[in-house]
Amino acid sequence: MRFQWLLIIPFFCLLTACSSSQVHWRDLSPNAEQANTAEEPLSLCRELYKDEAQIYQCEIEMSALLRARQQCEKDTDPRYCVRMAEYTWRHYKDHVLEDSPDIKQAGAYPVMCGYKENRITPCALTK
C-alpha cells in the first residue's frame, strides 16, 4: 500500500508541469519562423494554446521574440543576440515594468547588439 503513493507522486508532478500557464521563448522559438512569415504572426498563438490567458501571454512573448529576431539580424552573431535578448526581456519584465507586460511593451523593449565584441549598443542604432 505504501508503494502506491510512489506511483502517484510522478503523475502529480507531470500534471502540475503540464498545467503551468507560463509561456516561454523556448516553447515559441521552433514556431518563430512560421510566425514571422505568416500574414498575422500572432495568430499562431491560437493554434498553440487554447486557454485565453495563455494565448494572450503567447502573443506578448511572441511579439518580444519576433522583435528580438528582427533586431538581432544586424548583429554579428544573431543567434547569440536573440539568447541575450531573451535574458534582457526577462530582466525587463521582472525589474523595470511595474505591471505585467503588454504587446506594446513587448514591441518596444531595448534589444542590444554587440555582446560578442564587448561593444553593447541598441540594435536599433547598429548599421
- C-alpha R_g of the chain: 18
125 pLDDT band (50/70/90 cuts)?
A: confident
Q: Which three cell numbers stand for residue 108?
A: 518596444
Is residue 115 situated within a structural domain? Answer: yes
Is residue 14 situated within a structural domain? Answer: no
Annotate 102-125 with three-state secondary structure.
Answer: CHHHHCCCCCEECCCCCCCEEHHH
> Model-level pTM?
0.76
Please say whether the beta carbons of 23 and 50 come within 8 A. no
Is residue 86 situated within a structural domain? Answer: yes
User: Domain of 120?
Assistant: 29-125
Query: Identity (one letter) of the amino acid at 73?
Result: E
Give the chain's domain count: 1
- Tens digit of each residue's pLDDT (9 = 90 or more) over 18-29: 445 688 888 888
Is residue 16 situated within a structural domain? Answer: no
Q: Per-residue pLDDT for 6 more than 70?
A: no
Is residue 69 situated within a structural domain? Answer: yes
- Tens digit of each residue's pLDDT (9 = 90 or more) over 54-92: 999 999 999 999 999 999 999 999 999 999 999 999 999
Spatial distance between the Cα atoms of 4 and 7, rounded to a whole number of angstroms: 5
